[in-house]
Amino acid sequence: MDGDASLEDFISRHQLKDGDRLPPERELALALDISRRELRQVLARLELEGRIWRGKRNGTLLGGRPPHVGLSVDRSVVRASPRGIMETRLLVEPSVAALAALNASEPDLARIELCARRSAEVADDADWTRWDGAFHSAIAESTRNGIVEALVQSFNLARTRPEWSTARMAMVKADIRRQEVAQHRKIAEAIRRRDGIGAGQAMREHLLGVQEDLSAFLA
């Protein structure tokens, strides 16, 4: 039984539900009879899929992260207009990508690359939007800067609002998806090379393209 199936069986046998806490990594790896490295890979996939979340004080819990958890920035960021969010993302996220190129660990790089791959594989619009957000979150988390993580988290939360969802669904066509997938890959490759300047430039090009595609909907 592989790690994913072993964890699913563990959750089922213990009748765990959303909000319940999983055991610490060492204990859980022993219970599943897998290495801690394999367990971390399984948990990383589940976190990116929104099936678990991990907090500094909370441990690992089943279910999606509550919107307010870990969000330390002003709520006005979440309530800002789509135009304001895009302008701010263009100011912030290229620098975030550059910092990620300096600070990302090997597991961080694997998470970023996984998100880039999954955004290329999914066909459903909602899945595309989710993996796109996960890609940007993974980059922010790899900076090891809590302020940066919270800010990008707030951008993602803002993009769940109805006006954003309507715009994204209207503009995410097959050709635009392919273009954004290529841009994600370029960003991930620059971060992998530890090329901060290249990562920042690739992120800026990506966000300028998103801004242009959304121009008819931005207010």
Q: What is the pLDDT of residues 84-119, one digit of tens each?
A: 889 999 999 999 999 999 999 998 999 899 889 988
Give the Cα-Cα-Cα angle 66, 76, 162 (nearest 5 degrees).
65
Residues of the chain with CATH 1.10.10.10: 3-62
**Is 218's pLDDT higher than 70?**
no
Residues of the chain with CATH 1.20.120.530: 76-213
- The span from the CA of 182 to the CA of 192, in Å, is 15
DSSP secondary structure of 147-165: HHHHHHHHHHHHTTSHHHH
* CATH 1.10.10.10 for domain 3-62: yes
- pTM summary value: 0.71
- 86-125 in b/e form (b: 16+ CB < 10 A) is bebbeebbbbbbbbbbeebeeebbbbbbbbbbbbbebeee
CATH dotted code for 76-213: 1.20.120.530
